[in-house]
Every structure is written in structure tokens, then in C-alpha cells.
């Protein structure tokens, strides 16, 4: 089993790799031997420093690029190809969430969410698929969605819609590009980082609602998300395509306002 989780010889590209969850994913994949290209919008020198801190058995390379810009994405792939080789796995992970009542949700924030969460994922996945096709090689796309792709959560409706779109994108890529290119989805729950953690710690109403929504009863450790990435990057997942891996503590099992005890 340990050998099946050895990613030595594999190259993984992840967008949003310096975010709260992304860092844990990069560290986990590196610990298991993968060479990881970390993409984010952090300034190049600072990004290199942060990525180096996540490097263990495998090598890490940091490339600053705006994943919503097709030209920048092409340059990103040229860089990783030249320094690490064409990635075996490309993780469309960069994302944005914001909270506001739906009737007052700012249109500019809606556009920003859709641009980063959906458009950038399509641009990056398309760029990867095109290169794999041109070279006749196999590859896998991993899209980071969320449990709210199927279960709405108050005040993040545009985010919910973006994650539903990612699920559809992934399954479309999987259907069109089989058998040589696979595409799968990781859908985490309420992860103990970022906005969710701040609200959990500072807003009693949010915490009560979130606790009721998680059957396992506690916020999701980011390591559990990283372990899902490790599984999908490993040979253990070789027969999966078009799959949605829910790693959410059961949050998607029933509506959060259910009266079930």
C-alpha cells in the first residue's frame, strides 16, 4: 500500500497552491515524492520562498501567473514543462469565496468569483488537455469543488453556483477526453481555514449552523482534503474519471435545517 502512494516520478501542477488548503496539498504531495509546480499570484521571489518551505521528498517549483489570463497560463505551462516536464496531473484549485445576502450580493464580486473559480479552471484544464493531446500522453485533471455544489448554503449563492459549474466542467472534460485524459472532482466540506474558520471562531450563529450541518460534528482538517488529492494522484485512483469525491464529513447528506437528531 505504501508503494501505491509513492508519487516519485510524477509531476503535479496546482493553481492556488499557496492558499490555506493549497499549501497543505503541496506539502502532502511533496512528502510522497511528487514534483509539484505551485502556481499563485504571490510575487515571484516571495512565492519561491513559501514553496520551498513546503518541499520535502519531491521538488517544488513556484511560478507566478494569473490563471484567468490565457497568455499567462500558456507561459506557466512552458515554464513547468521546461523545468519539471509536462505535468501528469493538473489541479484546478484556485478559488474565491465571498459572503453576502443574495439580494444584495455585489455584481462585481459575483463576476470575480465566476472569473476565478470557473473561467480560470476552464483555461487551465483546456491548456493541459491540449498539450496532452498534442504529445499523445495520458493525464489527469482534478477540480476542487465543494459540498455546496449540491446543497445550498446561505449567503454564498454565487460561490455555490460556481462549484456546481465546476462539477459539470469536470464531467464534461472526462466524457470528451476519455480514455487517455481523466478528470475528477474533490468536494470538501466546511474546512477549518480562511473565512469559514474566522466565522466559526467569531460568529456564534454561524458556528451553531455549521455544527448542525456537519454530521461528524467538527470542522474539516485541511489534511483530509490533501489526502483526497494524494489518493487521486496515486495509482489507487487509476480507474476513476468523471467521479466526485465528497470529503465533507457528511455535510451533503441532508439539508442543514433538517430536524433529524
Measured CA to CA, the distance from residue 234 to residue 115 in angstroms comes to 30
The string of DSSP codes covering 76-87 is HHHHHHHHT-S-
3-state secondary structure of 153: coil
Longest dimension (CA), the chain: 56
DSSP state of 239: T
187: Cβ–Cβ under 8 A, 6 or more apart, which residues?
145, 146, 147, 149, 163, 167, 244, 245, 246, 247, 248, 252
Please identify every residue annotated as catalytic: 159
Measured CA to CA, the distance from residue 46 to residue 53 in angstroms comes to 11
Amino acid at each position: 500500500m505504501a508503494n501505491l502512494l509513492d508519487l516519485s516520478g510524477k509531476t503535479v501542477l496546482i493553481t492556488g497552491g499557496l492558499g490555506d488548503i493549497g499549501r497543505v496539498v503541496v506539502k502532502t504531495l511533496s512528502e510522497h515524492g511528487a514534483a509539484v509546480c505551485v502556481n499563485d499570484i504571490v510575487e515571484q521571489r516571495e512565492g519561491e520562498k513559501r514553496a520551498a518551505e513546503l518541499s520535502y521528498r519531491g521538488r517544488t517549483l513556484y511560478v507566478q501567473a494569473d490563471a484567468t489570463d490565457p497568455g499567462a497560463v500558456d507561459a506557466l505551462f512552458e515554464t513547468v514543462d521546461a523545468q519539471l516536464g509536462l505535468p501528469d496531473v493538473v489541479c484546478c484549485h484556485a478559488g474565491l469565496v465571498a459572503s453576502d445576502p443574495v439580494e444584495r450580493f455585489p455584481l462585481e464580486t459575483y463576476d470575480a468569483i465566476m472569473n476565478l473559480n470557473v473561467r480560470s479552471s476552464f483555461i487551465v484544464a483546456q491548456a493541459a488537455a491540449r498539450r496532452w493531446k498534442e504529445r499523445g500522453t495520458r493525464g489527469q485533471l482534478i477540480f476542487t469543488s465543494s459540498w455546496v455544489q449540491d446543497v445550498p448554503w446561505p449567503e454564498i449563492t454565487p460561490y455555490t453556483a460556481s462549484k456546481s459549474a465546476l462539477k459539470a466542467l469536470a464531467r464534461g472534460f472526462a466524457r470528451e477526453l476519455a480514455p487517455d485524459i481523466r478528470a475528477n472532482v474533490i468536494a470538501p466540506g466546511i474546512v477549518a481555514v480562511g473565512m469559514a474558520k474566522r466565522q466559526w471562531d467569531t460568529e456564534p450563529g454561524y458556528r451553531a449552523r455549521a455544527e448542525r450541518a456537519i454530521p461528524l460534528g467538527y470542522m474539516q482538517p485541511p489534511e483530509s482534503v490533501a489526502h483526497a488529492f494524494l489518493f487521486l494522484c496515486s495509482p489507487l485512483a487509476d480507474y476513476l474519471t468523471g467521479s466526485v469525491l465528497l470529503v465533507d464529513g457528511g455535510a451533503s447528506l441532508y439539508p442543514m435545517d433538517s430536524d433529524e437528531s
